[in-house]
Amino acid sequence: MEKTLFITPPSLLRWQPKDDRSEILYLDLEPDFLDENTLRIDLNIVFRPIPVKRGWLQTRDYYVGSTGARIIFESVDGKVKNYTRAAALQVNYENTYKRSRNATVKLSPKISTPVQVEGGEVSFGKGAERSFTSKFSGSERTLSDVDLGHGVEWELTLPEGQAVRDYLMGNLFLYVECSWTNSPKQGRIKLRPSNVLFFDENRRVIVDQTKALLMQFALYRLGTRVNREELSIDFKETV
Amino acid sequence: MEDREINIDEETFKILSDIANSKSDRESLASLSSADPYEFRKFLNESGALKNEQAGELLRAAYTAWRTEKSDRILVKLHPSVALAAANPQANLRPLHDEAPLAGDAFGMAAAPRWHIAELPEGAENPWDLAHQHLADQLGVDESAIVFAEPDLPQSFIDGTELGLDGRPFAAAPDCSALVGQDGTHNKVLGPDAFAWHLGDAFSQLGSARDAVMFSEPRTRIAHIDTGYDPSHVGAPERVLINLQRSFADDSGNPNSATDPGRGRAFPDNSGHGTGTIGILAGGRAGPNSTYLGGAYQADVVPMRVSNSVVLFYVSAFAKAIEYAVQQGCDVASISMGGLPSRAWSEAVNSAYEAGLCIVAAAGNNVGGAPSHHVVYPARYRRTIAVCGVMANGQPYYHIQPTALQGSWGPDSSMTSAIATFTPNIPWAVFGCQTTLRFNGEGTSAATPQVAAAVALWFEKYKGVLPRDWRRVEAVRHALFSSARPGDAQYLGHGILQARAALDISPQLGLQKTPPDRDTFAFLRVITGLGIGEVSPREEMFNLELTQRYLMNRELQEIVTDPEKEVSEKDLRQFMEAVVHDEGASRELRKHIAKRYSIVAGTTIPGGAAALAEPIHPACNREITIPKPPYRRIRAYAVDPSLSTRLQTAGFNEVTLKVRWEELEPGPTGEYLSVVDTDSADVTYQPVDLDSPDLLAQDGCPPSEGNAAFHQQMVYAIAMTTIEHFERALGRPVLWRPRINPENQFDDSQFVRQLTVRPHALRQANAFYSPKEVALLFGYFEASATDPGDHLPGSKVYACLSHDIVAHETTHAILDGMHRRFNEPTNPDVLALHEAFADIVALMQHFTIPEILENQIGKTRGDLKAESMLGSLAMQFGRASGKRGALRDAIGSFDVNGVWAPLLPDPADYHKIMTPHNRGALLVAAVFDAFISIYEKRTEDLLRIYTRGTGVLPPGAIHPDLVRRLAGEASKAASHVLNICIRALDYIPPVDITFGEYLRGIITADYDLVADDRYFYRVAFVEAFRRRGIYPSGLDTLSVDTLRWQGVDLSPIYKYPESREKLMLMLNQLKSYADACVYIQDREELFFETRKQRMLLHEVLTQIFAELPPEAATEFAGMLGLEPNPKFEVHELRRSMRFSPDGKYIPQVIVALTQSTTIQVEASPQPFRGGSTLIVDLSKPAIDYSIRKRIDSDNRKERTAAFIGQALRDPLQALFMQPDRAEPFAALHSLADLD
């Protein structure tokens, strides 16, 4: 039987119209049902710095972005069985893994507010093979995790002073496997950037957090807002 | 992949570069010198940064760096002397405390020095320099009168409780239905899964302690000093002493109310901090079966509001609150905030101690030890109780993850009066959500009220034996400290609060008195003076500033780790060097320390001379900042071109209008309007560029009938003037109707930013507003060949050059944007109102042009009933089309012989005249009549004075001064009448409007805004309408009181308990809309936000109807003017912010709900609509009025069917009735020619 996972609000990257993408951090996910009780969710945390520049011809003067994030997965009455563990990720770290899908799952935005959604429902076919690659060169970052029992919390931090050239355009892939017995598969995923920093054209951090705050304020006065608010989505399975 | 870029200009790039390259925060802040600290605060809040460790300090620094009126404010203690009376009035010197302080003012001798507050006319770079330099000169008092001075510093308390339910800072209204449990993240320890677990015997023992104490009158009195509270919350105390509550906050709020004013007013992010702490202190039951939340719910509570947020409050407000608590005989003060030391504070704390008021204050919070984990003031004063945090497992509220908020402690010398109690995960009443608590209250803010409650319980038990002086403070501290459960003294002071055990400790009245609290450290005296002998006031001021710098500057803290301990000579020297290089310190202090250094160390400070070099200031600013002009001057005809051809009127017909400034594209095309000049033959005229320097320098093109560019500029200027009148009266931006979707009549998703204006669109004697195109179309025609008036036969007459016609058509467009159903004729008044209203606006605009006004007042000798162009509309159009006079005249008309005669009101006309324009003329005449009565009332005294009491003007011209005064009064009265008429648009039903209902709207809207009707405006309206037979139906009498819409009777819905909660749900939804709109400047954003909120409100109401039992749902819907079963539409939603003449602020939301069905008229179905307009006062919050047109009214159905049936039988009127009629206003105006 085909299953559908309702996502509300429909804030996944895939559904956001390009013009509306004003975040420095995005979330995307793929769900899979490993068995009747277990749901696996592959999370893709997308770091996307925003270029700041003068006029249309000028090359980028600065970038504004984040170098860390907190991601919380919480189930309602579920138990986490497995998830991406803490890791100190070294320079030139690369990790590719492939897996075949177990079930066909339809991902559907549950729209409770009038939001323009591009794409609409997305289906992931059974047996399809997906490949995930994480690459981090010239930088180092640390992933820590806290097992909450019914959920898991990750914190990604970049040690200060490290070059973040490639990291800034990176994606962070995490997964979690969670099982429910006799209750609907539902929960919440929250994502929040740890900081908002400014980078030079070579994408090196150029200011501390205090100065970054004032630089954000200078942009804010110009009518530009760099969003660092928490993204929170709820998911719920319906058959 | 990059989806978004931020484009910046050179100026912003320079600012960003300056910040990036700056060497200190101070330098960074200087790069943003033109910024507004309030805007910065709003930014910090919106960006979620307020709880960052840097943000509070940065905000405080910003308040100093970006000069505000408050940054020049100082607190000064002065000897009473006669010189005070002669103080410089510019300094606004006034006593800090409203009432006489207790100490030293006995017997009215006023011998002791008193604190004053003043704003100094000359600022300084550093607020402390204000206090050190030329203070006496600036105050205009004698130097010897000054005892002490300090800046009124903004204080900042790091706190995590200023968050919404979802853990984010308050930017939008919280979701009151969300359930927020305890927070176990960051290694925070969870309490047991029970409501108010912290009260249990295993924890604070407050539950047992409060059960053990029987309160009796007079009850122990607790001062709650915070950000105010939410009295409607279930967690609010039951025993608030309402008459004693006060606000000392530095805003425009009511000084006699501690009610938290709510978000979206002075500050966008009011946190509700006080609502949370007062609940823990003495809160009521969270639900019918719940236990009490407050530790001392039986005590009397005096709430005092000192700020809008604990992140920013002023020294002065805090000092006032403590003094007031003493004056009101409070026994204990609960203070969940704090900051840097202050002399005014230390004196207030000493005064409180002497009076027996026990101050319980939060130790403070930090994030990862930053900016400091040391206890803040006033908790750090030794005559108070400092409250630290302990978690549910008995471990200190510290050493949790470094990114999380945690409690402050130490140094050891500051822990001698400290005790700990439980936090985090304490129930926290959520501001703005009547019944909602979240269970993750944290910080020492949540702990402090628990200790204050324990103090109150102990005082109550022993009040019979306790003296009212410092001994009771020592006694209760002894009881609490000696009974506390031992713990790690470094973090917990005397241990963990055991409130029940403390009750068993009897009062000991022989305890030693704690020495007076000081605001400086002993070692500083060695730095600033000799450390021996009497300390001079100047030296004391240096010491206080140094103490504040020590607490703010990490470098100083690292050199001297515990300021209460002995400091080595080497550290002392290093400390002094750091002070001299500390850019945050005042120049006076740094210079003084540099001098002292040479005495202490026998040498000069390394690099000191460079650090203290006087900056060389340029002669004047090198860069010139040119502000945007407030308005644009545009030339136009005052009336129309015909007046320029007459000798009598040519002198005043060319006027220069002041139009709100905006940058324009050629057209002109701006934010509201786009003038597109293509004529009916598809010829396009070159668009005028009003931003070109040539035109800017000469106020636009000179008036000319033959210049298309002038035509374009004139329609723009008059349409913009009309828009401005509406925006002023309504208190919100004008929005045009959404673009019509021919496929779906309910689709209102297409925003229209600009109303298109086409000055030469029609080759006919017409002009109209087109809802389909959202455009104003103006025609031109050739003057009558036989009776051309003042024109050459056959010459061109342009509608776009008539001031009246442009204003009239613009008003149609504005009205259609507000009330889209008002072009659906369901009774004879609907279309007539549209026409009449447009005429009223055009008429009243005559009185805003001084040139024409003074001329006509002079001509008529002030008699506005006489023939003049003030009461005439579209004169050129009327004359050129063969009429003797104007197209329409509100007060008179010319007969066939060309003789003007005044119109005489006939009550029968309202029942006889049915065509829209003529019927509308009745309403115009009534309003004009009311205006004349008001004008006469306002000027009767002037005329009496001028005529020496006779009231009879002598023959001949009246004096020009009188003309000017009369013109001024006429202009003022017209402006008031226009505002009243516009405001009434918010107070009328959304469909099927009648003139009588419009009158009721006028009366009610005016009453709400100006309760005191000094000039009898409302009576004038009632009388004028009555003279024309215009009465609302269903009223017994025609008095102002009965005409006012009646309030909403809630008793039918309150029969059902769940309805009350649902009503609050709905009102909260409306508040969230209002909050969301407050700072929206962009009209498109406002349009879409409003549309989104309409949908959300629809969802909420649908849910309410579904969840309530059927009878309750019917009553609820009835209260809203709806039937619960048929579908309904949230047709309109508008926010309004109005200020009455007496300064009263009226925040309102106007909701129009409509429902549709069909009725059969001559066998054909016709739409029939009902609904209501709800006027919601957000300050209460409550529905003030529900102005209904019920869809189930059989009478109205019959009336509507009869009207439509009759209209359908008339082929001309049938034009209005076609459901798909393309241009209703075109037909309407064409019909006008047939009247």
Which pLDDT does position B1147 carry in this prediction?
80
Q: How far is B291 from chain A (nearest CA, A)?
A: 28
Q: Is B26 on the interface with A (CB under 8 A)?
A: no
- Asked whether the beta carbons of B275 and B449 are under 8 A apart, the reply is no
pLDDT at residue B163, rounded to an integer: 41
Instruction: Report the relative pairing of strands B872-873 and B888-889 from DSSP bridges.
Output: antiparallel
| Length of chain B counted residue by residue | 1235
**How many cross-chain Cβ pairs, A to B, lie less than 8 Å apart?**
120
Residues B477, B483: Cα–Cα separation, whole Å: 10
Rounded Cα gap, residues A59 and B219, in angstroms: 71
Return the number of other C-beta atoms located less than 10 Å from residue B513's C-beta: 13
Interface test with B, best of A148, A153, A196, A217 (most B CBs within 10 A): A217
Determine the residue of chain A that is closest to B169 in CA distance: A229
Tell me, yes or no, if B55 comes closer than 8 A to chain A by beta carbon.
yes
Is residue B614 scored above 50 in pLDDT?
Answer: yes
The 10 Å Cβ neighbour count of residue B1140 is 13
With beta carbons under 8 A apart, name residues in chain A contacting B6.
Answer: 50-53, 64, 219, 224
Q: B1, B3, B63, B183: best mutation site toward chain A, by most A Cβ within 10 Å? A: B3
Q: Which of B15, B35, B55 is nearest residue A213 as measured by Cβ atoms?
A: B55
CA-CA distances (angstroms) from residue B967 to B845, B851, B871? 13, 10, 14
Nearest to B245 by CA among B233, B256, B237: B256
Query: What pLDDT, in 10s, does the model give residues B477-496?
Result: 999 999 999 999 999 999 99
Interface confidence, given as ipTM, is 0.76
Per CB-CB distance under 8 Å, the chain B contacts of A225 are 46-47
> What's CA A164's distance to the chain center, in Å?
18
State residue A129's pLDDT score. Answer: 63
Say if the Cβ atoms of A51 and B1099 lie within 8 Å. no
Which chain B residue lies closest to A26 (C-alpha atoms)?
Answer: B3
Q: Give me the pLDDT at residue B107, please.
A: 34
Q: What is the pLDDT of residues B39-68, one digit of tens each?
A: 777 777 667 665 555 666 677 677 666 655
Residue B688 has what pLDDT?
92
Q: Is the dihedral of CA B193, B198, B202, B207 positive or negative?
A: negative
Q: d(Cα B958, Cα B946) in Å, to the nearest integer? A: 9
- Residue B32: which of A18, A52, A218 has the nearest Cβ? A218
Give the distance from CA B423 to its chain's centroid: 34
Q: Which of B2, B12, B19 sits opposite A214 (nearest CB)?
A: B19
pLDDT tens digits, one per residue of B617-656? 677 776 777 778 889 999 988 877 776 666 666 666 788 8
CA B486, CA B139: separation in Å to the nearest integer? 53
Q: Which residue carries 């010897």 as its tokens?
A: B144
Task: Decide which of B1051 and B811 is more confident.
Answer: B811
Q: Does the distance separating the beta carbons of A50 and B2 come in below 8 Å?
A: yes
Provide the residue count of chain A.
239
For B282-319, the DSSP string reads HB-BSSTTSPB-STTTTSEEEEEE--SBTTBEEHHHHH
Chain B, nearest residue to A190 by Cα: B166
Highest-pLDDT range among A190-204, B211-225, B575-589: B211-225
Q: Which of B6, B187, B367 to mutate to test the interface with A (most CBs of A within 10 A)?
A: B6
Kindly list the residues from chain B whose CB atom is less than 8 angstroms away from the CB atom of residue A198.
16, 20
Q: What is the pLDDT of residue B551?
A: 81
CB contact set of B595 (below 8 Å; sequence gap of 6+): none
Name the 3-class secondary structure at B1046. coil
Report the chain B residue with the minimal C-alpha distance to residue A23. Answer: B4
The helix (H) or strand (E) run that includes residue B1003 is helix B995-1009
Pairing of strands B300-305, B246-247: parallel
Highest mean pLDDT of the ranges A13-17, A42-46, B510-514, B598-602 = B510-514
| Sequential DSSP letters for B1118-1150 | HHTT--SSS--EEEEEEEEEEE-TT--EEEEEE
CA distance B104 to B113: 8
**Longest C-alpha distance within chain A, in Å?**
59
Q: Output B4 or B686, whichever has higher pLDDT.
A: B686
- Give SS3 for B386: strand
Long-range contacts of B63-66 (CB under 8 A, 24+ apart): B63/B37, B63/B154, B63/B312, B64/B126, B64/B127, B64/B154, B65/B26, B65/B29, B65/B30, B65/B33, B66/B29, B66/B32, B66/B33, B66/B34, B66/B35, B66/B36, B66/B37, B66/B40
Question: Whose CA is closest to B588, among B1102, B125, B1215?
Answer: B125
Lowest mean pLDDT among A159-163, A204-208, B736-740, B939-943: A159-163
Phi, psi (rounded to 5 degrees) for B114: -130, 150
- Chain B residues with CB under 8 Å of A229 CB are 47-48, 168
E strand spans, B124-185: 146-151, 154-155
Give residue A167's pLDDT band: very low, low, confident or very high (50, 70, 90).
Answer: very low
Contact list, A213 vs chain B (CB under 8 Å): 44, 47, 49, 52, 54-55, 58
Q: For chain A, report the end-to-end CA distance as a whole number of angstroms.
A: 8
Range with lowest mean pLDDT among B705-719, B875-889, B1015-1029: B875-889
Window 110-169 of B, Cβ < 8 Å to A = 166-168
Q: Do B43 and A220 touch (CB under 8 A)?
A: yes
H helix intervals, B1028-1056: 1040-1043, 1051-1054
B1193: pLDDT strictly greater than 70: yes
Residues of chain B neighbouring A196 (CB-CB closer than 8 A): 47
Structure tokens of B422?
A: 């439980």
B360 CB burial (10 A radius; 0-12, 13-18, 19+)? buried
Q: Residue B671 pLDDT more than 60?
A: yes
**Cα(B1121)–Cα(B1155) distance, rounded to whole angstroms?**
10
- For CA atoms B337, B341, B345, B351, the dihedral sign is positive
Give the span between the Cα atoms of B215 and B299, in whole angstroms.
Answer: 7
Phi-psi region of A149 (alpha: psi -120 to 50; beta: other; left: phi over 0): left
Residues A80 and A146: beta-carbon distance below 8 Å: no
Interhelix angle B916-946/B1224-1234, rounded to 10 degrees, is 70
B11 touches chain A (CB under 8 A): no
Å between A232 CA and nearest CA of chain B: 10
Pull the structure tokens for residue B1221: 């009629």
Q: Which residue has the higher pLDDT, B40 or B214?
A: B214
pLDDT tens-place string over residues B58-117: 776 776 666 554 567 888 888 776 445 555 666 677 788 765 444 444 333 445 788 888
Chain A: residue whose CA lies nearest to B1082: A223
- Write the CA distances from B206 to B201, B445, B575, B830, B1019, integer angstroms: 7, 17, 46, 66, 61
Residue B1085 has pLDDT above 50, yes or no: yes
User: What pTM did the predictor assign?
Assistant: 0.51
End-to-end Cα, chain B, rounded Å: 66
Rounded Cα–Cα distance for residues A66 and A157 (Å): 10
Residue in this structure with the two tokens 């997964």, named with its chain if needed: A175
B1126: distance to nearest CA of chain A, Å? Answer: 22
Check CB contact of B44 with chain A, cutoff 8 Å.
yes
Instruction: Report which secondary-structure segment, H or E, holds B828.
Output: helix B828-846
Mean pLDDT of A1-22: 72
Region for residue B914 given its phi and psi (left: phi exceeds 0; alpha: psi -120 to 50; beta: otherwise): alpha
B1029: left (phi over 0), alpha (psi -120 to 50) or beta: left
| Interface probe, candidates A71, A201, A214, A220, chain B, greatest B C-beta count within 10 A | A214
The three-state DSSP-derived secondary structure of B774-795 is CEEEEEEEECCCCCCCCCCCCC
Please indicate if any CB of chain A lies within 8 Å of the CB of B489. no
**B717 touches B798 (CB < 8 A):** no
Q: How far is A212 from chain B (nearest CA, A)?
A: 8
B1100, containing H or E segment: helix B1083-1107
Confidence at residue B1037, expressed as pLDDT on a 0 to 100 scale: 75
Task: Provide the shortest C-alpha distance from residue B37 to chain A (in Å).
Answer: 11
Structure token digits, residue B1027: 């003279």
A53 DSSP β-pair partners: B7
Strand partners, B149: B76
Among A202, A204, A200, smallest CA distance to A160 is for: A204
- Asked if B35 has any chain A CB less than 8 Å from its own CB, the reply is yes
CB-count exposure of residue B978 (10 Å: 0-12, 13-18, 19+): buried
